[in-house]
Amino acid sequence: MTKDECKQLVIEIIADIAPDEDLSNLKPDVRLRDQLQLDSMDFLDIVMELRKRHGIEVPESDYMKLASLDSCAEYLTPKFEAIAGKK
Amino acid sequence: MKIGPHYDVVIIGAGMSGLAAGIRLAHFGRRVALFERHNAPGGLNGFYSIGGRKYDVGLHAVTNFVPPGVKGTPLGKLLRQLRIDREELGLCPQTGSRIAFGPRGETSLRFTNDFAVLEAGVADRFPREIDGFRRLAAFVRTQDAVSFDAPVGSARELVREHVRDSLLEEMIFCPLFYYGSSRERDMDVGQFKIMFRALFLEGLARPFEGVRQVIRVLTEKYREAGGERHMRCGVARIAARDGRAAALVLDDGTETTADHVLSSIGSAETLALCDPSLPAATPVPTVAPSKRLSFVEAIRVLSAQPAALGLGTETIIFFNDSDQFSYARPDAQVDLRSGVICLPNNFQFGERQLPEGLLRVTALADHGRWAGLPGERYQVDKRRWFEELTAVACRFLPAADPAALQAATVATDMFTPCTVERFTGHLEGAVYGAPLKNPTGRTHLANLYLCGTDQGLLGIVGSMLSGISMANLHILEPAARGRTLA
C-alpha cells in the first residue's frame, strides 16, 4: 500500500463520519482539526471505523498521530501492510 | 427464574434518547439491548393509531433545523454521530410562526427560520428594546451549541440584563417554555440558550410523515448496527449490589445483567426500580423547584386543508390572552389562557401535501385534576375541554370559522396528562420530565446513568443528543481511555 492509498482510506472514513464537510481540498500537512469541524468524539469515530473496517487498533496514546493526513499515512501505512501480510 | 444473556449495555426505554444511545453504542461494537414496556417506540415523541389514522404525540416540529451546509450545529452533530443522512429525515421547513399576546393576539411577533424576521418584528413593536434583544441573541450565539453541562441559573435574570419590557420578556419566553421547560415560570440558563437557539436562531421543520419518519430512521439504524430491541417488556426492577446495578429483572420475570445500564425513563422513575432496601442509595434532592408540568392536546382531523377553512398558512402559533403569562401547573384541569396551536399541514412540503387537514391545540393541564376521575366523568371532561380548546384557538386565528371547522371535522382525539403517564411511564405525565435536571446523568449506582428528559437536553434534537452524550461520556470515552471499570 502506498501512502496516498492510505490517505484515501482515511478520507473515505472521514467522508462517512462528516458527510457535510467538503473534503476535496484537504491539505495533507495541515491538522485535520484546523481544516474541518472535528471534535474529539469524531476522532474516536475515526479510530472505531479503522478497527471495524480494517482491523487496525489505535491505542489512545497514539491518537495524536492521526492529526493530519500526512501523519495518518506515516502511522497507518505500516499497520495496513502488517495486516495485509497476515492474510 | 429465567436467566437472560449478559449485555455490555442495557438501555431502558425506546424513546429518542434511548434509541440514539443504542445506535451509538452498537456502532462501537457493544452488545446492546433496549427494553421498552410500550408496544411502540418513540416515548414522549411517539405516535398511535386510532380508526386507521396515525397521530403524532409530542412532536409539533423538529427544532434546531438548519439548511444543509450550516456547520457546528446540534443537528449536524446528531446526524454525524448517528450516521444519518439528512435526506433520510426529509425535513421540510416551516412556513412561519407567531407569538400572539392579548385577547385576540393583538401584539404579535412573527418568526421564521430566518432570524431577521423576528428581529424586525421586535424592532417594529419594541423599538427601545431592539439593541438589548440583539445583545441577548449575540450572547446566545457565542455559547457552545452542543454543550450539555450547562450551568443552572435563572434565565429570567439573564434576559432581564438585556430586555426591560416585561411584555417582550414574556413573549420571548412563551415558545421556549412550551417547547422545552420542565420548570414553572422560569428555566435554567443552559436550557434557555439551547431553546433560544433551537427555535429562533435555527428553526422549525417537519418530516413529511411526522415523527414516524424519525423513529423509523432510528430503529432501522439501530437494527443495522446490531442492536437488540425488546418491546412490551420493560425493566421491572434493578437489583443493586456493592453500589452497582448488578442485575435487571424484566417484566416477564427474566433476570439479565449488563456492564452498564442507561435509563431514559426519568430520574425518580429509575430510582423507583432500584431496590429500596439496599443501603447504596444516596439521598436524592426531594425539594423540586417546581411542580411537574403536563399538557392536554386537542387534535382535529379535517376534510380540507387548514388554509381553506380560514386557519391560515402559519405553522405554529404560541398564544397568551393577556400581557401576563403564567407557565405553571394550573389550578384547573386546563389553563385556557395560553397554549400552542400547531397546523402540521403548514410546512413547506413542496409538491406534496398531507391528505387531511390537522389542527392541534395544546395547553397546560393539572395531572391531579385528571387522575382518578371515574371513566365516564373523564370522557365528559375531555369532550368539554376539547371544544373549549378549539374555541380559544379560533380567537387567535382571525379568519377561522368555527362552524365550518366543525362541519369539516372528520375525526378527533385528545390526550391528557393521564394519557401521557399511561403510555410513557413519566410520573404525572410530565412531558419535559422532572423540574430538576441531572446534566451528568450520574446516579447513586456507579454503572447506572440517566439519559433523556431528566438528564436535561430537551426538544427532539436535544433528546437524541442526550442519548449520544451520555453514551459517549460514560461508556465510549472511558473505554477509549482504557480505564473502563466494566
Q: Which residues contact B21 (CB under 8 A, 6 or more apart)?
A: B11, B262, B264, B451, B467, B468, B470, B471
Q: What is the CB neighbour count within 10 angstroms for residue B61?
A: 23
pTM of the predicted model, to two decimals?
A: 0.92
pLDDT at B284: 46
Per-residue confidence band for B373, with pLDDT thresholds at 50, 70 and 90: very high
Closest Cβ opposite residue A44 in set B29, B69, B480:
B480
Q: What pLDDT sits at residue B282?
A: 43
CA gap B285, B353 in Å, rounded: 48
The answer to whether B81 contacts chain A (CB < 8 Å) is: yes
Is B72 in contact with A48 (Cβ distance < 8 A)?
Answer: no
Q: What is the pLDDT of residue B278?
A: 47
Find how far residue B327's CA is from the centre of its chain.
16
Do the Cβ atoms of B76 and A59 come within 8 Å? no
pLDDT digits 0-9 by tens, B221-242: 999 999 999 999 999 999 999 9
Mutation target to probe the B interface, by most B beta carbons within 10 A, among A12, A35, A41, A60 is: A41
Q: How far apart are CA B119 and CA B125, in angstroms?
A: 10
Provide the number of CB pairs (under 8 Å) joining chain A to chain B: 38
Q: Is B472 on the interface with A (CB under 8 A)?
A: yes
- Band of the pLDDT at B72, cuts 50, 70, 90? confident
Q: What is the pLDDT of residue B149?
A: 57
What confidence tens digit (pLDDT) does each residue in A70-80 have?
999 999 999 99
Share of chain B above pLDDT 70, in %: 94
Q: How confident is the model at residue B349 (pLDDT cuts 50, 70, 90)?
A: very high
Going by DSSP bridges, is the β-strand pair B205-207/B448-450 parallel, antiparallel, or unpaired?
Answer: unpaired
Domain range enclosing A32? 3-86
Q: Which residue of A has its CA nearest to B471?
A: A41
- Chain B contact set for A42 (CB, 8 A): 80
Per-residue model confidence (pLDDT) at position B456: 85
CA distance B256 to chain A (A): 27
Residue B190 cell numbers, joined: 443552559
pLDDT score of B249: 96
Cross-chain Cβ contact B29/A37 below 8 Å: no
Q: Are B80 and A48 an interchain contact pair (Cβ–Cβ within 8 Å)? A: no
- B388/B404 Cα distance (integer angstroms): 16
- Residue of higher predicted confidence among A50 and B190: A50
- Decide if pLDDT at B482 tops 70: no
CATH number at A31 reads: 1.10.1200.10
Chain A CB contacts of B72 under 8 Å are: 37
Answer for the pair B451, B24: CB distance below 8 angstroms, yes or no.
no
Identify each DSSP E strand in B396-443 by its residue range.
409-415
Q: What is the 3-state secondary structure (H, E, C) of B48-60?
A: EEECCEEEECCCC
State the best of B80, B146, B465 to mutate against chain A, taking most chain A CBs within 10 Å.
Answer: B80
Cβ <8 Å between A20 and B68: yes
Q: What are phi and psi of B200, to 5 degrees?
A: -100, -50
Nearest-by-Cβ selection for B476 from A18, A21, A44 = A44
Which domains does chain B possess? 3-59+210-288+436-480 (3.50.50.60), 92-207+289-423 (3.90.660)
Q: Which residue has the higher pLDDT, B284 or B224?
A: B224
**Number of independent structural domains in chain A:** 1
Cβ B273 vs Cβ B236: under 8 Å: yes
Q: Which residues, in sequence order, are bridge partners of residue B137?
A: none
State the average pLDDT over residues A31-55: 90
- Contact yes or no for B110/B315 (Cβ under 8 A): no
Give dist(CA B323, CA B345) in Å, integer: 30
Residues of A in contact with B89 (CB under 8 A): none
> Cell triple for residue B363?
395547553
Terminal Cα-to-Cα distance of chain A (whole angstroms)? 14
Q: Which three cell numbers stand for residue B41?
A: 417506540
In this prediction, residues B76-99 reach a mean pLDDT of 95
> Whole-number mean pLDDT of chain B?
92
Mean pLDDT computed over B412-416 = 95
Residue of chain B nearest A20, judged by CA positions: B69
In chain A, DSSP finds a helix count (H) and a strand count (E) of 4, 0
- The mean per-residue pLDDT over the stretch B156-182 comes to 97
What is chain A's length? 87
Neighbours of B316 (CB within 10 A): 26
A72 by Cβ neighbours in 10 Å (0-12 / 13-18 / 19+) ranks as buried
Residue B481 has pLDDT above 90, yes or no: no
* pLDDT recorded at residue B285: 46
Rounded-to-integer distance, Cα B188 and Cα B147, Å = 14
